[in-house]
Amino acid sequence: MRNMVLGVILVFICAFQADEPNFAKMKDVSAFRNGVDQMAASTTSIQASFTQEKYLNVLSDKIVSQGSIHFKKPNLLRWEYHQPFEYGIILNGKEITIKDEGNVNSFDIASSQAFQQVNELIIHSVQGNVLDENRFDIEYLENDDLYLTKLLPKETQMAKFLKGIHIYFDKQNFTVAKIRLIEAEDDYTLITFSDKALNEPISDEQFAIK
Q: Is this structure's pTM higher than 0.85?
A: no
CB 151 within 8 A of CB 36: no
The percentage of residues in the chain with a pLDDT greater than 70, rounded to a whole number, is 83
CB 163 within 8 A of CB 182: yes
Which of 13-17, 62-66, 106-110, 141-145 is modeled with the greatest confidence? Answer: 141-145
- Using the predicted structure, report yes or no on whether residue 2 has a pLDDT greater than 70: no
Closest of 37, 9, 1 to residue 181, by C-alpha? 9
Which string of b and e fits 110-148 if b means at least 16 CB within 10 Å?
A: eebebbebbbbbbbbbbbbbbbeeebbebbbbbeeebbb
Which residues, including other chains, have CB under 8 Å from residue 153's CB and lie 6 or more apart? 135, 136, 159, 162, 163, 164
- Using the predicted structure, report yes or no on whether residue 12 has a pLDDT greater than 60: no
Look at residue 17 in the predicted model and tell me its pLDDT.
37
**CA–CA distance, 50 with 69 (Å, rounded to integer):** 8
Q: Which amino acid is at 73?
A: K
CB 140 within 8 A of CB 26: yes
123-152 mean pLDDT = 86
CATH number of 2-7+15-193: 2.50.20.10
β-pairing verdict for 63-72 and 45-55: antiparallel
Could you tell me the pLDDT band of residue 13, with boundaries at 50, 70 and 90? very low
CB 147 within 8 A of CB 63: no
183-189 mean pLDDT = 77
Q: Which amino acid is at 41?
A: A
Q: Residues 16-34: pLDDT tens digits?
A: 334 455 899 999 999 999 9
Look at residue 72 in the predicted model and tell me its pLDDT.
92
Q: Residues 131-142: pLDDT tens digits?
A: 877 888 999 999
